Amino acid sequence: MFALACAIQCAPLAAPLLISTDAWTYWSYARLHDPYTQTPSEDPVSAPHAGAAYLHETSVYGPAFSLVSKPVALTASADAAAWAFKAAAALCVLAATWLVARRRAFPAALVGWNPVVAVHFAGGGHNDALMAAFVAAALALGDRGRPRWAGASWSLAVLVKWVPLVLLPLRALEARATGRRIDHTGFALTTLLTLALATALWRLHWVGALLPLARDAARETSYALPRRTGLPWWVFAAAYALAYAWLLRSAARGRARLALAFALLLPALPYLIAWYVLWPLTLAAYDEDDAAIVLTLVLCAYLLPQRIPV
């Protein structure tokens, strides 16, 4: 099963960058002295390849991703940079698949056998794969009685992209209800070390990543349900707030439905992109949550035409 997942997820590595230019935007940010105050337009090597929407925008990504992507700045080749991010994304997807496949074969196929995932990650190199791999590692480490390392992995997931913060209260309530041991030391130390290094390189400019993030959240994509339905965004935000309160109650009773937390979040987002389906996919494979699996598959089918003509 895992061998087939490897074949499916690695197949797009043989193709050029597909559908999105985000990998080149990551490369451009890596080449800048400070991605939180400078924009891709300021680097003459990567600017012709960076995405037009971000050419004059500072980075929205967390300091962990900015740090780990720095080595890609060493290349002046757009093709090499794209392949580096594509390969890293494919490896992260496979790592997440391997971690969840240890529980049950069928849910793991949601990730490893999913062509939507292959096209957008091994094909597009999106950094959501790195975030998902850290979340999967955190869950696996927690299950294996390594709470300090699990905390470190949760920290890195949050510092790649901020969205895993939604999951932490659910996981904490579940741990309290079930008596699972937790350790905040790993999370705290990893966060402090990462932010200290980011501050040494870019001062406190990394805090500014939240500003363009808020700007993106205010934009609407064509497949976002607020735009599709014509309803105001606050209707979906209120619905998610109610759903999240119910999820908190479920977690307090001993079941953190992490996959459902992400699967319900996506329809509420005004800025919804096809590759975001990896967020609930990985967790649905881990949770073995039938409702989350069905909703995530529906989202995959709904978002498939967004960037892939069918």
18-35 pLDDT, tens digit per residue, is: 888 999 999 999 999 999
Contacts of 72 (CB under 8 A, 6+ apart): 26, 27, 30, 81, 84, 85
- pLDDT at position 310 is 47
Closest CA to 251 of 308, 211, 289, 285: 289
Q: Which two tokens stand for residue 196?
A: 């200290």
Buried/exposed 237-269: b ≥16 CB within 10 Å, e otherwise = eeebeeebeebeebbbeebbbbbbbbbbbbbbb
Closest CA to 234 of 209, 211, 217, 258: 217
Taking CA atoms, 154 is separated from 147, 177, 180, 190, in Å, by: 10, 20, 16, 9
For residues 43-65, average pLDDT: 93
For residues 244-263, average pLDDT: 97
Instruction: Give φ, ψ of 191 to 5 degrees.
Output: -65, -45
Residue 131 forms part of a structural domain: yes
For the chain, how many helices (H) and strands (E)?
Answer: 16, 0
115 HSE (CA, 13 A, CB side):
4
Residue 248 forms part of a structural domain: no
Q: How far apart are CA 213 and CA 151, in angstroms?
A: 24
Residue 292 forms part of a structural domain: no
- pLDDT at position 156 is 98
Which amino acid, one-letter code, is at 35? P
Between CA 220 and CA 227, with CA 222 as vertex, the angle to 5 degrees is 60
Q: How far apart are CA 138 and CA 154, in angstroms?
A: 6
Q: Are 151 and 242 in contact (CB under 8 A)?
A: no
Q: Structurally, how many domains does the chain consist of?
A: 1
Residue 271 forms part of a structural domain: no
Residue 278 forms part of a structural domain: no
Q: How far apart are CA 246 and CA 87, in angstroms?
A: 38
Q: What percent of the chain has pLDDT over 70?
A: 95
Give tens-digit pLDDT for 132-142. 999 999 999 99
200 pLDDT tier (thresholds 50, 70, 90): very high
Closest CA to 10 of 85, 121, 111: 121
- pLDDT at position 152 is 97
Residue 286 forms part of a structural domain: no
Show the domain range for 31.
2-218
Residue 143 forms part of a structural domain: yes
Give tens-digit pLDDT for 148-165. 999 999 999 999 999 999
Lowest-pLDDT range of 19-33, 163-177, 256-270, 276-290: 276-290
